[in-house]
Amino acid sequence: MSADAARHRVTLLPERAEFDARADQSLLKSALQAGVPMLSSCRNGTCRTCICRLVIGRIAYEIEWPGLSAEEKREGLVLPCVARPLTDVVLRRGD
């Protein structure tokens, strides 16, 4: 990981927790490094424990096909354990 990697602001709803996320690592890893708790288990995109809804922003996946159907992806569901931020993002937990 580059020490000068781009950073994006992440807001988690409904509690409005905020943290900076590196563009070169997962949203989950950035949250945990910032002391923001997020549920997780597998950390590889299969268990769906960390599932959130992308309210604002854009992400890219670290793996080719995370554990989401095409319909779920169209609906804005994301897996923070394998998603990297491309912009500032707002995620909603517990939908």
Q: Is residue 79 assigned to a domain?
A: yes
Residue 65's pLDDT is 73
Rounded to two decimals, what is the model's pTM?
A: 0.89
Residue corresponding to tokens 């959130």:
52
Q: pLDDT, tens digit, for every residue of 44-61? A: 888 999 999 999 999 999
Q: Is residue 74 assigned to a domain?
A: yes
Domain carrying residue 72: 7-93
Confidence of residue 2 (pLDDT cuts 50, 70, 90): low
Sign of CA dihedral 11, 13, 14, 17: negative
- Computed over every residue of the chain, the mean pLDDT equals 92
The CATH code of the domain that includes 15 is: 3.10.20.30
Domain count, the chain: 1
Exposure string over 51-72, b if 16+ CB within 10 A, otherwise e: bbbbeebebebeeeebbbeeeb
Cis check: omega of the bond before 66, within 30 degrees of 0: no
- Helix runs in 1-95, H state only: 27-33, 70-74
